[in-house]
């Protein structure tokens, strides 16, 4: 089991966390495989459906057997009980839409990385005082890259991951990374469906690969 600092560094090194939910375990596993083939070795599965536990368990089992270096996080966690449950099921990191002290406590006790949704400097500071390594700026599109730049002024040590509205477009990524984000989270703009509602897993892999390359190129400037 990796320490939370190792996990945060792996996420930051890649610069991208794909996130998704699907109610079918087989489809969810195919999405995970597509992410891995595209170069992303950290994925957030969002616990938004009634059978999220069943799907997450299937994903975790598959990765343990076939993709042992794949980090599987759980998102949309809103209370400590849910966080504890998914940690027992093997979640490598916890992502929440809001800042909650009870979740921070249970994650810190297990040395598990947790990324709380924050939307103000006060919330960000409170999260860091609770031991947070990476702040989730949510919804990212509501605040924009200039908000990140403003936060990084007085707090250059703050690691921020915008989620919600981040796109694969080079200009959008350039705006975020130039502002100082450590990574970005992407859902439907990255794990997208075709007009018929089906997934093109090869297209997902190609999109992730291209996005990671764009991020790498931006960082090298």
Token couple for 164? 């919600």
pTM beyond 0.75, yes or no = yes
Nearest residue to 113 via CA among 182, 53, 49, 52: 182
pLDDT at residue 1, as a whole number: 67
Residues of the chain with pLDDT under 50: none
Task: State whether the Cα torsion 100-64-160-172 is positive or negative.
Answer: negative
- What angle do helix axes 52-66 and 25-37 make, rounded to 10 degrees? 40
* pLDDT score at 36: 98
Looking at 95-200, list the stretches that DSSP marks H as alpha helix, in order from N- to C-terminal side.
101-109, 121-129, 140-143, 145-152, 170-179
Tokens matching residue 29: 């596993």
Closest CA to 93 of 25, 17, 190: 17
The pLDDT value given to residue 181: 98
Domain locations in the chain as residue ranges: 4-214
4-214 belongs to which CATH class? alpha beta
């Amino acid at each position: 089991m990796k320490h939370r600092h190792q996990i945060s560094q792996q996420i930051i090194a890649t610069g991208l966390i794909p996130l998704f939910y699907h109610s079918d375990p087989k489809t969810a596993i195919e999405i995970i495989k597509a992410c891995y083939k595209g170069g992303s070795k950290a994925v957030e599965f969002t616990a938004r459906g009634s059978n999220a536990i069943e799907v997450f368990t299937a994903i975790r089992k598959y990765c343990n057997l076939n993709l042992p270096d794949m980090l599987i996080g759980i998102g949309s966690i809103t209370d400590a009980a849910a966080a504890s449950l998914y940690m027992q099921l093997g979640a490598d990191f916890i992502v929440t839409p809001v800042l909650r002290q009870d979740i921070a406590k249970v994650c810190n006790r297990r040395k598990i990385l947790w990324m709380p949704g924050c939307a103000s400097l006060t919330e960000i500071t409170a999260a860091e005082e609770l031991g947070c390594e990476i702040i989730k700026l949510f919804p990212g599109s509501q605040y924009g890259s200039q908000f990140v730049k403003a936060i990084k002024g007085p707090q250059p040590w703050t690691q921020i991951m915008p989620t919600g509205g981040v796109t694969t477009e080079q200009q959008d990524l350039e705006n975020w990374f130039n502002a100082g984000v450590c990574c970005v989270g992407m859902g439907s703009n990255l794990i997208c469906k075709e007009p018929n509602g089906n997934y093109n897993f090869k297209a997902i892999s190609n999109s992730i690969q291209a996005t990671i390359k764009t991020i790498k190129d931006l960082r090298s400037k």
